């Protein structure tokens, strides 16, 4: 197919590159000229393993191009995929300004029948509303499709080319069939639903995954008090097919650009129809508190006296293999430490630049490597489970820290590796050592 993808962020760029890889002719559009210039120069505006190489190969093959010219791209395409951001408003609701703007620009550019597929995560009813908005602007025929995206940053190409399922929300069987055909080679689980159900599937899936995380984190907190080990508990639970092993990893909670925003948006969506989503409210509350697990441990170790201490932070991205720092637990943890007079030394293998921009404040000592960060610190807190941290030489680490205090917010280290060392080791939901 001739496809235009609007928005070259984490979703749009990966989708565009993968659709080209699958043999389609793809034009990626973004309103940000710096991003498009970078892409046209062979660069990639985000960190996503394998993406640069795949994009380059498809550009060379003439299947992929980048432009700011939405009008021309739309006119040359049969399918328009919308992947612009829907960030949260202060109220928690999704900000639909970008997607409405994109819909109007598409309407103004139309020169014949198009399928408009929305990959952005949008509240139930939004696709219908965008359709009406467009019909107020153009007499050209089109069909709306809800095509929610489930990729995970860090494994986005694998997830796009080998998805667990594809959801196609449509009210026109012909348009639905064209979308089924486009995705047929990717998975046997292509599910066609009505548009509102497809929109809801996205929110319900993320809310359920967030619930699993908050659930295991609460179990972890109880494990700490009763002397059980949450990793063993999660393993034992996960073999039950009704439960499954994924998303049962205790830690300092979820962050990122999706779970926090989508859980808040679903609470709002429910609220608009007079339904209080009590369970999801608790999931969010538990998650918000869980990031302070690290702080509480520091306070216990230092008898409540954080002022004047130096704390090293390993990991700023909300999870490994991405440079995305949106709603990363590190933002609040570092802010809290600074507010309490702590000297913070921080490092992340790829997310430093994004973090510094988003954090936007002075006072943190930014370091160039893991061991350098730990140099002279009273304690080290691991917030993101990058391989680089898991593979560190613990003997060397012990020698550079002022005090061998390690708070492992992601349960990266194994007890057997720490036995025989002098580390005072705290993790999440597992017995502490020394
Ligand atoms: P992003 O912020 O990384 O990228 C959005 C891009 O859209 C930006 O480059 C912006 O310049 C561009 N844009 C905005 N308005 C535009 C317009 N009118 N014309 C052209 N370009 C425009 O966002 P993202 O993380 O890729 O997320 C996109 C959507 O996908 C969101 O709704 C998000 O909830 C959803 N989603 C994200 C993920 C993820 O892991 N990031 C996963 C699943 C779903």
Separation between Cα atoms, residue 362 and residue 25, nearest integer Å: 46
Cα–Cα dist 289/284, whole Å: 9
Which domains, and CATH codes, for the chain?
Answer: 2-193 (3.40.50.720), 202-288 (1.10.1040.10), 291-426 (3.40.50.720)
Per-residue model confidence (pLDDT) at position 313? 98
What separation in Å is there between the alpha carbon of 132 and the centre of ligand 1?
A: 22
- Evaluate: CB of 83 within 6 angstroms of ligand 1: yes
State the distance from the centre of ligand 1 to the C-alpha of 99, rounded, in angstroms: 9
- CA 408 / ligand 1 centre spacing (Å): 32
> Is the shortest distance between the CB of 91 and ligand 1 below 6 Å?
no
pLDDT exceeds 90 at position 67: yes
| Contact of 255 with 328, CB cutoff 8 Å | yes
Residue nearest to atom 6 of ligand 1 (CA): 7
Distance from the CA of 173 to the center of ligand 1, in angstroms? 28
Query: Taking the model in full, what pTM does it have?
Result: 0.95
- For range 216-221, the mean pLDDT: 98
- Long-range contact list for 262-265, CB < 8 A, 24+ apart? 262/121, 262/202, 262/203, 262/206, 262/207, 262/210, 263/206, 263/207, 263/210, 264/88, 264/92, 264/93, 265/88, 265/92, 265/93, 265/94, 265/121, 265/123, 265/203
Using the predicted structure, report yes or no on whether residue 79 has a pLDDT greater than 80. yes
Mean pLDDT of 103-128: 98
Helix (H), strand (E), coil (C) string for 63-115: CEEEECCHHHHHHCCCEEEECCCCCECCCCCECCHHHHHHHHHHHHHCCCCEE
Q: Does the Cβ of 12 fall within 6 Å of ligand 1? A: yes
d(CA 374, CA 187): 45
Q: What three-state secondary structure class fits 5?
A: strand
Instruction: Report the residue among 72, 147, 149 best suited for mutation to probe ligand 1: largest number of ligand atoms under 8 A from its CB.
Output: 149
Longest dimension (CA), the chain: 75
Q: Is 53 in the pocket of ligand 1 (CB under 6 A)?
A: no
pLDDT number for residue 295: 97
Residue 246 φ/ψ, nearest 5 degrees: -80, 155
In terms of DSSP bridges, do strands 190-193 and 114-118 run parallel, antiparallel, or are they unpaired?
unpaired
378-397 pLDDT, tens per residue?
999 999 999 999 999 999 99
Instruction: Kindly report the number of other CB atoms within 10 A of residue 6's CB atom.
Output: 29
- Residues annotated as catalytic are 258
State the ipTM, two decimals: 0.99
Phi, psi of 314 (to 5 degrees): -105, 115
State if residue 31 touches ligand 1 by the CB under 6 angstroms criterion.
yes
Ligand 1 centroid vs 7 CA: distance in angstroms? 6
How far does residue 410's CA lie from ligand 1's centre (Å)? 28
Identify the sign of the CA torsion 171, 177, 182, 188: positive
Q: How confident is the model at residue 420 (pLDDT cuts 50, 70, 90)?
A: confident
Find the helix or strand (DSSP H, E) in which 135 lies: helix 126-135
Q: Average pLDDT for residues 366-371, to the nearest whole number?
A: 98
SS3 40: helix
Question: Residue with the nearest Cα to atom 23 of ligand 1?
Answer: 85
Looking at residues 84-90, what average pLDDT do you find? 95
Give per-residue pLDDT as tens, 255-311: 999 999 999 999 999 999 999 999 999 999 999 999 999 999 999 999 999 999 999
Under 8 Å CB-to-CB from 307, ≥6 apart: which residues?
340, 341, 342
Q: What would the pLDDT profile of 135-166 be if each residue is shown by its tens digit?
A: 999 999 999 999 999 999 999 999 999 999 99
Q: Which residue ranges are tagged as binding site for NAD(+)?
A: 30, 35, 86, 121, 153, 261, 326
Ligand 1 in contact with 9 (CB < 6 A)?
yes
- Work out the percent of the chain whose per-residue pLDDT is above 70: 100
Residue 419 has pLDDT above 90, yes or no: no
Helix, strand, coil proportions of the chain in percent (round to 5)?
Answer: 45, 15, 40
Q: Is the pLDDT of residue 434 over 80?
A: no
Q: What's the rounded mean pLDDT across residues 8-16? A: 97
pLDDT at 215: 98
Residue 227 contacts residue 431 (beta carbons within 8 Å): yes
Ligand 1 and 149: CB distance under 6 A: yes
Write out the DSSP string of 274-335: T---HHHHHHHHHHHHHTTHHHHHHHHHTTT--TT-EEEEE--SSSTT----TT-HHHHHHH
Asked if residue 104 lies in contact with residue 134, where contact means CB atoms within 8 angstroms, the answer is: yes
- Kindly tell me if the per-residue pLDDT of 81 is higher than 80: yes
Q: Mean pLDDT, to the nearest integer, of 114-129?
A: 97
Please check whether residue 154 is in contact with residue 320, taking contact to mean a CB–CB distance below 8 angstroms: yes
The strands making up 2-6's β-sheet, listed across from edge to edge, are: 64-67, 25-29, 2-6, 79-82, 114-118, 142-146, 166-170, 190-193
Is the beta carbon of 8 within 6 A of some atom in ligand 1?
A: yes
In the block, residue with structure tokens 């609040």: 332
Give the nearest ligand 1 atom to 86 CA: 32
Look over the chain and give the mean of its residue pLDDT values, rounded to a whole number.
97
pLDDT at 249: 97
Q: Is the pLDDT of residue 125 over 90?
A: yes
């Amino acid at each position: 197919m001739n496809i235009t993808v609007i928005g070259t962020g984490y979703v749009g760029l990966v989708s565009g590159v993968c659709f080209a890889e699958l043999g389609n002719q793809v034009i990626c559009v973004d309103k940000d000229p710096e991003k498009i210039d970078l892409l046209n120069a062979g660069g990639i505006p985000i960190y996503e393993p394998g993406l640069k190489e795949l994009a380059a190969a498809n550009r060379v093959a003439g299947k992929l191009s980048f432009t700011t010219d939405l009008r021309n791209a739309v006119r040359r395409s049969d399918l328009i995929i919308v992947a612009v951001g829907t960030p949260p408003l202060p109220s928690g609701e999704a900000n639909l300004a970008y997607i409405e703007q994109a819909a109007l620009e598409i309407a103004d550019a139309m020169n014949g029948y198009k399928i408009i597929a929305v990959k952005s995560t949008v509240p139930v009813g939004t696709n219908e509303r965008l359709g009406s908005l467009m019909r107020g602007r153009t007499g050209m025929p089109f069909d709306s499709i809800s095509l929610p995206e489930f990729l995970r940053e860090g494994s986005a190409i694998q997830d796009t080319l080998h998805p667990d399922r594809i959801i196609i929300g449509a009210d026109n069987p012909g348009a639905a069939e064209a979308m089924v055909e486009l995705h047929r080679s990717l998975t046997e689980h292509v599910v066609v639903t009505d548009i509102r159900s497809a929109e809801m599937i996205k929110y319900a899936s993320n809310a359920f995954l967030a619930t699993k995380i908050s659930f295991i984190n609460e179990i972890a907190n109880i494990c700490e008090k009763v002397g059980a080990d949450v990793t063993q508990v999660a393993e034992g639970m996960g073999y039950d097919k009704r439960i499954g092993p994924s998303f049962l990893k205790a830690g300092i909670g979820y962050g990122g650009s999706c779970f926090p925003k989508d859980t808040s948006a679903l609470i709002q969506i429910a609220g608009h129809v007079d339904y209080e989503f009590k369970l999801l409210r608790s999931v969010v509350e538990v998650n918000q508190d869980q990031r302070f697990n690290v702080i509480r441990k520091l306070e216990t170790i230092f008898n409540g006296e954080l002022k004047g201490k130096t704390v090293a932070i390993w990991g700023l991205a909300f999870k490994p293999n991405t440079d995305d720092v949106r709603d990363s637990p590190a933002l609040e943890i570092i802010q809290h430490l600074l507010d309490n007079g702590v000297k913070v030394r921080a490092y992340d293998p790829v997310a430093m630049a994004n973090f510094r921009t988003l954090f936007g404040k002075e006072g943190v000592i930014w370091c160039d490597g893991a061991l350098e960060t730990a140099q002279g610190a009273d304690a080290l807190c691991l917030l993101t489970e990058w391989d680089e941290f898991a593979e560190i030489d613990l003997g060397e680490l012990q020698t550079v820290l002022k005090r061998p205090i390690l708070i492992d917010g992601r349960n990266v280290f194994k007890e057997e590796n720490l036995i025989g060392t002098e580390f005072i080791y705290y993790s999440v939901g597992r017995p502490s050592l020394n």
